[in-house]
Structure 1
Amino acid sequence: MATLLILGASGDLTGRLLLPGLARLVRHGRATGLHLVGAGYDAWTAEQWSERVAHSFAAALEAADDAGQSALNLLRTTSEYRRVDVTAPGELAQLTTTLPGPTAVYFALPPAIAEQACELLSPGDLPAGTRLVMEKPFGTDQASAFRLNETLTQLVPEDHIHRVDHFLGKATVLNILGLRFANRLLEPVWNNLHIDRVEVVYDEALALESRAGYYDGAGALRDMIQSHLLHAMAILAMESPVSLHERDLRDGVGAVLRASSVDPDFARSTRRARYTAGTIDGKDIPDYAAEDGVDPSRRTETLAEITVSINNARWSGVPFILRSGKALGGSRKEALVTFKPVSHLPTGFSGQDSPTQLRIGFGPETLKLEIDVNGPGDIFALDRAVLEVELNASELLPYGEVLEGVLTGDPTLSVRGDTAEDCWRIVDPVLDAWATNEVALEEYPAGSSGPAAWTDPAS
C-alpha cells in the first residue's frame, strides 16, 4: 500500500496498539515507502499528531539500528493529520481521493460509527486497490453481520476487506498448524478416537479497567468467545489444508465453524457469572455492578463458558469448552487437549493414572506435554512428568502482524465474511437464552477462580 489512513487517530487504540505495531514493522524493514495519515473528528494540530506518533514510536526507535531509525524518523516527519467527520456525507470519500493510492483505510472507531461511515460510501467513492480494515465486533448478531458484509462487499472485493482479529497473530496460528500437521506423533491421534475434550481458555486477572463504555454492552461471550476463541478452536480442529495460502487456511476454518453448534439445553451447555468485590495482587477491586459506567440491570457477564459440538466425523462426541473471564485469581491463556485413558493399564501399577494432556500457551507461546511415567523410589508407582518448551514468538507485535497483512495484501489473519456470520450463528441462541434468564447469572469474588459451584475439568 502507498498510504495507511487511520480513522480515529486520536483514540486509544491508535496510540496504544496500532502505531507501536506499525513502528515495530518499520523498524524491521517490513514496511517501506509508506505514507501515514491520521484522521479524526478532533481538531488536532500537526504538532499534537506528531507528538502522538513520536511517543508511540519511541520504544521501536530506541531498539532500532541506524536503518530502522532512519525509516522511523522519515515516516514520522512525513506523516500528517486530517480532520474529518466520517458520519458526514462525502467527507471520507473526498479525503480518500486526495491521498496517494492505493490506500488502506483503518477504521479505529466504535463499530457503529465505522458501519455508518461505510454505509455513506458508494463503490465509486474509493479508488481502485483500496482496502478496508474493520475492528471487531463485526455486527451485533448474525443478521447485522450479514448486512455489514453486504455493505462492505459492495465497496471493495472480499479479499480487500480485513476484519481484524489480533488474537490470531501469525506466530500463534502457525505454531498450532506446525504442531498439528508436521508431527506424525500427533496427527494420527488428533480425533475423537483418542481425544476426550478440548478447552480453549482466556482467563485474566485484569478487571474492567475503565472500559465500561464498551464492555458493559458486550460481556465476556461477545468480547472474547464469539470472535477470538471460536477461531482458535477452529484452527485446532480444522482438517489439514493443502497449503498455507489464505484461501486454504480460511476454507478450513470456515468448514469447522459451519459444523459447530451449542446444545440448546443452555442450562447444561453454558455458564455465566459476574465478579463481586474482592482483591487481586493486593489491590481492592470493586463489585462489577458498582463500577463507573456499568448498568447493573444489563446483567452483563464477566465470565462465560460454552460447550461447542463440532458435528463431523473427526470430532463428533468431543466437547470443545470455550471459557473467558475477567478479575480472576490467575491468568490462564491456553488450549488444553485432554486425551482419553489408555485402553488397558497392566495390573501392578499404583498411583494415579492421569490422562495425557497437551497445553498450548497463548501468551507467552509455550507447549507442555503432561504424561505418566514411572515414579522415583517405587518404580511401579506412576508419577507425573511435564515436557515443556517455549515456542517461537514473532518479532512483531500482534497489531504489527495485522498491519503487515493489510499492507502486503495478505488476508490470512483476517476474518472472512462468512465465518464472521457463522460465529454469530453459534452464539446468538446462547445470548437469547441469557437475555431471558434461562441460565442463572452466578457470582464470584474478584481474585477467585470463579464461582464455587463451577468445577474445572483441568483441575
Structure 2
Amino acid sequence: MINRLVVFGATGDLNARYLLPALAALRAGGHLDDRFELTCADRGERSGEQFRGWAAAQLERHCPAEPADVRKAIADSVRYRQADATDAADVASLVAGDGPVAVYLALPPAIFPRTVTALHQAGLPPGSRLVLEKPFGEDLDSAVELNRLLSGVLPEQAVFRVDHFLAMTTVQNVLGSRLANRVLEPIWNSAHIAEVEIVWNETLALEGRAGYYDGVGALKDMVQNHLLQVLCLVAMEPPLSLGERDLRDRKIDVLRSVRPLTDDDVVRRTRRARYLAGRIGGREVPSYVEEDGVDPRRRTETFAEVELELESWRWSGTTFRLRSGKALADDRKEVAVRFRPVPHLPFEQNGEATPNVLRFGLEPESMTLALTGTGSGARTLAPLTLTARMEPPDLPPYGRLLLDVLHGNAALSIRGDEAEEAWRVLAPVLSAWAGDVVPLQEYPAGSDGPACPGRSGT
C-alpha cells in the first residue's frame, strides 16, 4: 500500500467536497494510520496553518458525521505547498521522497497535458500511481494525445482514470442483481427489455461552477463519462471475474457495440437545452447565461439526452436513453429498466397492465420493481411495487476509489482504450452540436426540462 498522497488543486471543489471527506472516512475505518502523508498543493499564497484551518472547515461542512478526532487528525496532518502543477521543478520537489507516491490531479482537464509533461520531466519514484479526474480529454484527438503522454510517465496499470459513479454501491448492485440472480440474467436481453433509461436529473443549478462547467456542458460532464460507464455495467456480457482485465474488457465490448450515429440519427435521437430563469422550491434561479462567469457565446447546454442502440446479439432492438439536466423540478437519479409487455392478458376487466420497471436509484440508493397484480377482484389488475432495503455503504464512493488507488486495484478505473472509445461514441454528437445541427432548446428552471412531444420522461 502507498502511504503518500499528493493532491494538486488543493483548494478546489473536488478536494473540499470529496477527497478530504473520503480520507476522513478511510481514517475512521482503520484504512489509514499516522504513517500516511498527505500533501496538498496549488498556486495560492497561504501558510500551512491557514490551509489546515481551511481543511478543518471543509471537513466539518462536508462530513460532519465523521468523528471529530478523525477530522482533526486529517486536518492537522496535511502539509500545504505553493506550487505550479505545470512546472517540472515544483512537481519534482513534491513527489521526491522515500518510496512510491500517489499523485491526484484535482485540476481542470485542460491543464492535464501540461501537468503530465511536467511529471514526465520530474520523474516519479518506482511504483508510483497517477489519478486523473473526468472528463479525460476534450474530444477523441485530445484523449489519444493524453494517453500518449501518460505512456511516457507510468505503465498503464499505474494510471487511474477515475469515475466515482463506478464506486457507488447501487451502480455496483446492477452487476450483483444481474449476475448473482438466476431470475434476472435469463431475461436480461432485448427479447424482454424494451428500453433502459440512465438518468441524472438534478435540481442543482450552476452553483458557482462556471469556471469548469461553461467550458464543458452536460454532454461532456455527465453523459460522456458517468452515464456511459453505467451503460457498460448494465449492458456488458458476464465477465469471467471482477478482476481489472476481465471487467474492463467486457466494458469496452459494450462501447464498441454502440451503433455509430449518423447525422440524421443525431437530429432524431439527441436533445440539448439550457435553463432560463425560474423558481426551484423556494429559491429564485437566474437563467444560465446570467450566471457569474458564463459566456453566452459558448452556447453551453445544461441538459443533454442521447438515444443509443447496441449492435449485439443480446441487445439488438433495445433503446438505451442517457439523460442529464440541471435546474430541473425534481432530482431523478436512476437506472430504469423497462420490460416488454406480456403477449396475452386473460383478464376481462382493466385489461391493460403497466410495463414492469426495475429501478436502481443512484442517489439516494434504492431498488424498486414495479409489477402488476390483481386488484379487488380476481379479474382486475392493479399496480404493485416491491422495494428493496439497501444497506449503507462502508465507504463513500471517493473513499472506495482512493483505497483502490493506494492498494493498486485498477478494476474500477477506466483503461486508456476505453476512454478513447467513449469519445468515439459521442464524436458525431459533438460535431453536430458544434455546427448547430441540433437546436439549443430552452426550459425554465424548476420545470421538467425541454418539451419532447410524445414522451413523459418518467
TM-score, normalisation: structure 2: 0.94
Q: How has the CA–CA distance of structure 1 residues 234 and 283 changed in structure 2, closer, same or farther, with 3 Å as cutoff?
A: same
When residues 61 and 238 of structure 1 are mapped into structure 2, their CA distance, relative to the original with a 3 A threshold, is: closer
1:287 is aligned to: 287
Equivalent in the alignment of 1:236: 234
Which of the residues 134, 137, 143 maps onto 1:136?
134
Does the CA-based 8 Å contact 1:35-1:75 persist in structure 2? no
Q: Are the aligned partners of 2:168 and 2:362 in contact in 1 as well (CA < 8 Å)?
A: no
1:169 aligns with 2:167: yes
Aligned mates of 1:384, 1:24 — CA distance in 2: 41
State the distance in 2 between where 1:38 and 1:108 align.
10
**1:172-227 Cα shifts (integer Å, max 9, x gaps):** 34311110011111000000111101110000011111111211111111110000
Whole-angstrom distance in 2 between the partners of 1:61 and 1:206:
20
Match of 2:422 in 1: 423
In 2: Cα distance, 1:345 partner to 1:189 partner: 19
What is residue 52 of structure 1 aligned with on the other side? 54
- Describe the SS at the equivalent of 2:346: coil
Q: 1:37 to 1:31 in 2, by over 3 A?
A: same
Contact 2:92-2:122 at 8 Å conserved across structures: no
CA distance in 2, matches of 1:439, 1:326: 19
Q: Is the 8 A contact 1:6 1:105 kept in 2?
A: yes
- Matched residue, 1:384: 383
Equivalent residue, structure 1, for 2:313: 313
Contact kept? 1:24, 1:60, Cα under 8 Å? no
The aligned residue for residue 108 of structure 2 is 110
Give the equivalent residue in structure 2 for 1:399. Answer: 398
Provide the residue aligned with 1:225 in structure 2. Answer: 223
Residue identity opposite 1:80 in structure 2: R
Moved more, 256-265 or 406-415: 256-265
Q: 1:184-333 counterparts in 2 under 5 A?
A: 184-264=182-262, 265=264, 266-333=266-333
How far residue 354 of structure 1 moved from its aligned partner, in angstroms, is 1.2
Q: Which residue identity is paired with 2:235?
A: A
Aligned partners of 2:398, 2:215: CA distance in 1, in Å? 24
Question: Which whole-Å CA distance do the structure 2 matches of 1:143 and 1:411 have between them?
Answer: 24
Q: Given the superposition, is the C-alpha separation of residues 204 and 285 from structure 1 closer, same or farther in structure 2, using an over 3 Å criterion?
A: same
SS state at 1:450 partner:
coil
**Alignment partners' CA distance in 1, 2:87 and 2:238:** 47
Structure 2 counterpart of 1:39: 41
User: Whole-Å Cα distance in 1 between the matches of residues 453 and 420 of structure 2?
Assistant: 31
Asked if the contact 2:52/2:76 (under 8 Å) is kept, the reply is yes
Contact kept in structure 2, 1:171 and 1:392, CA below 8 Å? no
Instruction: Confirm or deny: 8 A CA contact 2:224 2:422 kept in the other structure.
Output: yes
Structure 1 partner of 2:369: 369
SS at match of 1:335: strand
Structure 1 stretches lacking a partner, 5+ long: none
Q: Secondary structure at the match of 1:167?
A: helix
Separation in structure 2 between the aligned mates of residue 291 and residue 262 of structure 1, nearest angstrom: 35
Quote the RMSD (CA, aligned, Å).
2.0
For residue 340 of structure 1, report the CA deviation from its aligned partner: 0.7
Code of the aligned partner of 1:108: A
**Structure 1 position 49, deviation (Å):** 2.1
TM-superposition CA deviations, 1:114-159 (whole Å, max 9, x none): 3211113337711101100111111001111011011112111111
Name the SS for the 2:418 alignment partner.
Answer: helix
Deviations 1:353-393 (A, max 9, x none): 211111110011111110111112x3312111110113233
Q: Secondary structure at the match of 2:424?
A: helix
Map of 1:66-145 to 2, 5 A cutoff? 69=69, 73-97=72-96, 99-122=97-120, 125-145=123-143
Give the counterpart letter for 1:15 in structure 2.
A
- Asked if the contact 2:6–2:94 (Cα under 8 Å) also holds between the matched residues in 1, the reply is no
Question: Contact (CA 8 Å) 2:358, 2:368: kept in 1 or not?
Answer: yes
**Structure 1 position 441, deviation (Å):** 1.3
Gaps of 5+ in 2: none
SS of residue in 1 equivalent to 2:344: coil
Instruction: Work out whether residues 303 and 325 of structure 1, in 8 Å CA contact, stay in contact via their aligned partners in 2.
Output: yes
- Name the SS of the counterpart of 1:227 in structure 2: helix
Q: Per the alignment, in what secondary structure is the counterpart of residue 272 of structure 2?
A: strand
TM-score by length of 1: 0.94
In structure 1, the partner of 2:149 is: 151
Which piece of structure 1 moves more, 246-255 or 366-375?
246-255
CA distance in 2, matches of 1:390, 1:204: 23
Q: Distance in 2 between matches of 1:361 and 1:61?
A: 22
CA distance in structure 2 between the aligned counterparts of 1:240 and 1:167, rounded to whole angstroms = 20
Alpha-carbon distance, 1:347 to partner = 5.1
Partner of 2:355: 355
Judge conservation of contact 1:262–1:306 (CA < 8 Å) in 2: no
Q: Identity, % of aligned pairs?
A: 47
For residue 307 of structure 1, report the CA deviation from its aligned partner.
0.5
